[in-house]
Amino acid sequence: MWAEKFMRDEDGKLCVQTVDLDGERAKCSINELTDLSLKTDSDSIRITTNFSDWKKCRPTIYLALADFPQGIDESHSVFEIESNGIRYLIPALVLMHAFFRPKHKVFPDLFSPAGLERLCIPMKGVPSDVEFLDMRLHSPTTADGRTRASPYYTEGHRRTLAWMWSFPSANKFWNSIFRHALCGLISADLPLGTLSAIFRGRRTRQYFLVTEIRLRRLATDECPFEFAANSLTNFDLNDVGPRLGSTECGGITLSSTINLHDNGDWALTDNEWSDVSAIIESGKTHCREGSKFDLRPMIDALIRKIGCGIAWQKTSFPDNKLNLARFYYRKWLKDGRWDAIVNCLNKVR
């Protein structure tokens, strides 16, 4: 499904016109926009890029390569960057989904006047953190009178919003979304800085159609506002998805995120497997654990599942052994072996 342009519904409210692969058009609300996404393919790559190298281009190439019909309005901006002979095409909505999270909580304020001010304010005396205004009326406070953190916002979410409060181009980035929407455009004014992220999507010849971005780190290229003089200039945004380490998914608590290989692959190398297998062996409680199965393909699938945030039911496990994978993951997470595996891999990736 492609978001074509912003428009007004019968009640005068801002909404989005969408188009599917058959050319059928429909309208969706701002809340429904959070669930609107392109099909995410299996290709992924880790990339570091400066926003100054991004160029805004027409969406026609992206739409054609993604098999959408001709005649689609060009109000949805696509950004292009080139690296190592590959041209990455990034729709503006994909960029919004990456930066403005959690989407269901942030999007209503993103598409409203002074939305950032309504959502949160910088936390006094705590650089690069924010206090959420919508939590004041129904959340307990800490001993010093501050509102406790919302369970919906991870540290990565809070740092991202603090960055948008503290730096001129980041603040303009937030405000530009609504300003463009009022003109019918799905677009953004890019901030200043260098972004490290994981791009997921589909490689097609010299093009890479980006369908999802997982933020990792951001280094600013500007001075903060005067009130934020003590702000960080390098932000770790690695946990901007569901909070890894404290969020449950399908009844299983997810552990820390795992780094991607520089070539965009999640799978274990032979050297990594040697280290990982030693960790597994070290915690065995009986000799039959894993003796009937080759655990390496299963661990490869688990690493990709955790790294990409894929649902359990959508993860391809060898021989369809989903339940077995869940069993081992629970077991290793409980006895500490999974965290040891994550730490081991992140030291060499």
Residues 229-241: tens digit of each pLDDT: 888 889 988 754 4
Residue 12 in any domain: the answer is: no
Does residue 148 lie in a domain region? yes
The answer to whether position 10 is within a domain reads no
pLDDT at 20: 93
Domain boundary among 241, 276, 292: 241
Output the pLDDT for position 149: 47
- Say how many domains are in the chain: 2
Do 314 and 180 reside in the same domain of the chain? no
**Does residue 275 share a domain with residue 253?**
yes
Is 16 inside a domain boundary?
no
In a domain, residue 204? The reply is yes
Give a three-class secondary structure readout of the chain.
CEEEEEEECCCCCEEEEEECCCCCEEEEEHHHHCCCCCCCCCEEEEEEEEHHHCEEECCHHHHHHCCCCCCCCCCECEEEEEECCEEEEEEHHHHHHHHCCCHHHHHHHHCCCCHHHHHEEECCCCCCCEEEHHHCCCCCECCCCCECCCCCCCHHHHHHHHHHHHCHHHHHHHHHHHHHHHCCCECCCCCCEEEEEEEEEEEECCEEEEEEEEEEEEEECCCCCHHHCCCCCEEECCCCCCCCCCCEECCEECCCCCCCCCCCCCCCCHHHHHHHHHHHHHCCCCCCCCCCCCHHHHHHHHHHHHHHCCCHHHCCCHHHCHHHHHHHHHHHHHHCHHHHHHHHHHHHC
How much is the pLDDT for 8?
94
d(CA 102, CA 321) in angstroms, rounded, equals 31
The pLDDT of residue 148 is: 47
309: left (phi over 0), alpha (psi -120 to 50) or beta: left
As given in the structure block, the two tokens for residue 337 are 């072996």
* 267 and 204 within one domain: no
Confirm if 68 and 19 have CB atoms less than 8 A apart: yes
Task: Give residue 222's domain range.
Answer: 40-241
78 & 221 share domain: yes
Given 197, 215, 241, the domain boundary residue is: 241
Are 189 and 138 contained in the same domain?
Answer: yes
Predicted pLDDT at 194: 96
CB of 211 within 8 A of CB of 36? Answer: no
Q: Say yes or no: 69 and 173 in one domain.
A: yes
Regions of the chain where pLDDT drops below 70? 40-42, 125-127, 134-153, 239-257, 262-264, 284-292, 308-309
Residue 53 maps to a domain:
yes
> Are 322 and 174 members of one domain?
no
- Rounded to 5 degrees, what angle do the CA atoms 156, 157, 160 make? 85
CA within 13 Å, CB half, 283: 16
Is the domain of 96 the same as that of 218?
yes
User: Does residue 169 share a domain with residue 308?
Assistant: no
Question: Which token pair is 242?
Answer: 């569901």
Radius of gyration in angstroms for the set of CA atoms belonging to the chain, rounded to a whole number? 22
Q: Respond yes or no on whether the N-terminal peptide bond of residue 102 is cis (omega within 30° of 0).
A: yes
The residue out of 185, 216, 241 marking a domain boundary is: 241
Domain membership of residue 8 (yes or no) is no
* Residue 250 to residues 293, 301, 313, Cα–Cα distance (Å): 24, 17, 9
Whether residue 284 is contained in a domain is answered as yes
Whether 169 and 115 share a structural domain: yes
80 and 106 part of one domain: yes
Q: Given this model, what pLDDT does residue 290 score? A: 52
CB 165 within 8 Å of CB 228: yes
Shared-domain flag, residues 79 and 226: yes
